Amino acid sequence: MVFASESDLLKHLKESDLLPVYFLFGEQGYLKRLYQKRIADKAVPKASQPFNLTVLEGRSTTVDEIADSAEALPLMAQRRCVVVNDLEVDKLDAREYAKLEELLSSPPDSSVILFLYSDLLFPAKPTGRCKNFLALVEKNGGWARLDARSPRETERYIAAMAEKNGCSMAPDVCRYLSQRCSDDMQSLGNEVDKLCAWAGGRAITREDIDLCCIAVLDASVFDLAKLIIRGSYQNAMDKLTELLDMREEPVAILGALSASFIDLYRAKSAREAGRSADQAAGDFRYKGREFRIRNAFRDADRFPKAMLRRFLGLLAQADYSLKSSRTDPVIVLQETITRMFVLRQEGGSR
């Protein structure tokens, strides 16, 4: 069984009997831990978990130990639950992998085996043993890839966390927090806790977020891009200094800045082709990051397309300089931004 979405997995756990095998992986550590607990709690009552819940570290265990734990009879309970953390299936030797195939082909009825990739990333397009492992789990159990929730679901999560802490957050403020900080739910939960402690029961505002939360690199560089777009040279250089003082790598700053102007160029091209922002989000694969192309649609008319093309040329030249010369990276960034402002003044804006 394949759970195509988090909601499918949630519905299964609420309405159906447990399967003998599960595999959870993906980018969202919070969701993986959440559903690990839900599966374990449904498989084994909390009172008997000390006797019937076994957690094994895949990097230091053998398949025989996994099988022994799964085949052991439950003690004063209907079944056992065996959680296997980060078993690197593609690094098992042939003998160990054959044992794993045997276990997955005929899992014991008295246990639920949950394979979990806590720290490891499972390939987006699995091949070889990873592909075979996924197929075996699908045939005899179920798997789910738990990546980022949709923007709307993330905003609902933020609002619920704020309410739980005695505060409130309007939808646009929730959206602003997720755009400024991260789509990682654990990080967002920590930021909401911090904001609620600061707000003391009142409604949280954008100003609170700016004051209390550290923006991720993309958001900070987006601020730098906005200052360039608006023609605010001194503020742009101050923002660059701030990023460097935060020990952000110049290559990473340049990469994120380039991405912002690529967004603008794509928006300009899409608009010329008669495409809407939502259509462009699909065309250029902005799933989960639709706000970026919408913001670009808002700002793209400030520049002729030829100027955007020249901006990208300057950024590409800076990238080459950073990676191939001994010039001070800070000077490369400062000169590039200055040249963008000079180009902006020479070419005008509209």
Per the CB < 8 A criterion, the answer to whether 261 and 311 are in contact is yes
Euclidean distance between CA atoms 325 and 335, whole angstroms: 15
One domain, residues 253 and 168: no
Q: Nearest Cα to 240, choosing from 328, 307, 337, 162?
A: 337
Q: Please name the helix (run of DSSP H) or strand (run of DSSP E) that holds residue 55, with its range, or none.
A: strand 53-57
- CATH number of the domain that 189 lies in? 1.10.8.60
Mean pLDDT value across residues 296-300: 87
One domain, residues 30 and 122: yes
Instruction: For helices 29-43 and 185-199, give the axis angle rounded to 10 degrees.
Output: 100
Euclidean distance between CA atoms 91 and 93, whole angstroms: 6
Per the CB < 8 A criterion, the answer to whether 137 and 143 are in contact is yes
- CATH number of the domain that 46 lies in? 3.40.50.300
One domain, residues 132 and 164: no
pLDDT of residue 350: 42
User: What pTM value is reported for the model?
Assistant: 0.62
Instruction: For helices 233-245 and 329-347, give the axis angle rounded to 10 degrees.
Output: 160
Structural domain range at position 185: 151-212
Q: Please, what is the average pLDDT of the chain?
A: 89
Of residues 141 and 29, which shows the higher confidence score? Answer: 141
One domain, residues 101 and 181: no
One domain, residues 194 and 284: no
Euclidean distance between CA atoms 81 and 194, whole angstroms: 35
Euclidean distance between CA atoms 93 and 30, whole angstroms: 31
Mean pLDDT value across residues 264-284: 91
Q: Nearest Cα to 216, choosing from 243, 192, 195?
A: 243
Per the CB < 8 A criterion, the answer to whether 86 and 116 are in contact is yes
For the cut 60, the answer to whether the pLDDT of residue 349 exceeds it is no
Q: Nearest Cα to 179, choosing from 161, 206, 203?
A: 206
Residue 100 three-state SS: helix
One domain, residues 336 and 222: yes
Last residue of a domain, one of 145, 162, 183: 145
Q: What is the DSSP string of 182-206?
A: -S-HHHHHHHHHHHHHHHTTSEE-H
- CATH number of the domain that 239 lies in? 1.20.272.10
Number of domains in the chain: 3
HSE on the CB side for 191, CA within 13 Å? 30
Last residue of a domain, one of 116, 145, 174: 145
Query: Token pair for residue 42?
Result: 């449904």
One domain, residues 195 and 237: no
Tens digit of each residue's pLDDT (9 = 90 or more) over 126-183: 888 999 999 999 999 999 998 877 788 888 999 999 999 999 999 999 988 987 877 6
Q: Which of 39-53, 243-257, 303-317 has the lowest mean pLDDT?
A: 243-257
Dihedral of alpha carbons 310, 231, 296, 178, sign: positive
